[in-house]
Amino acid sequence: MIYSATSVTCLESKPEDTYNFGQALAINDNYIAVGDPEANRVAIYSYDESQNKWSRAREIYPPKNSIIDQVGSGFGKYLVF
């Protein structure tokens, strides 16, 4: 949940998100990175001031054929902006 002086917002998840979705968070201005290490991805949300809402803008995955490119290998367990 994102807290502000005027509202509370829940970020939308997707059916393919695992129970580890949200294990790690990084926030920078109008962006939130949400780690899902079991699914091996990081979801990036951006804030649209004109609509006053957060949207899932993209997903980041580890490089193909890398050691960490295995389901559940922990990509997204730790995040830093």
Give residue-wise pLDDT tens across range 35-50. Answer: 999 888 999 999 998 9
57 with 42: CB under 8 angstroms?
no
pLDDT at 43: 96
24 with 75: CB under 8 angstroms?
no
pTM above 0.75, yes or no: yes
Give residue-wise pLDDT tens across range 3-57. Answer: 555 666 778 889 999 999 999 999 999 999 999 998 889 999 999 989 888 999 9
Domain ranges of the chain: 2-60
CA distance 33 to 10: 14
9: CB partners within 8 A, 6+ apart: 1, 2, 53, 54
CA distance 49 to 58: 18
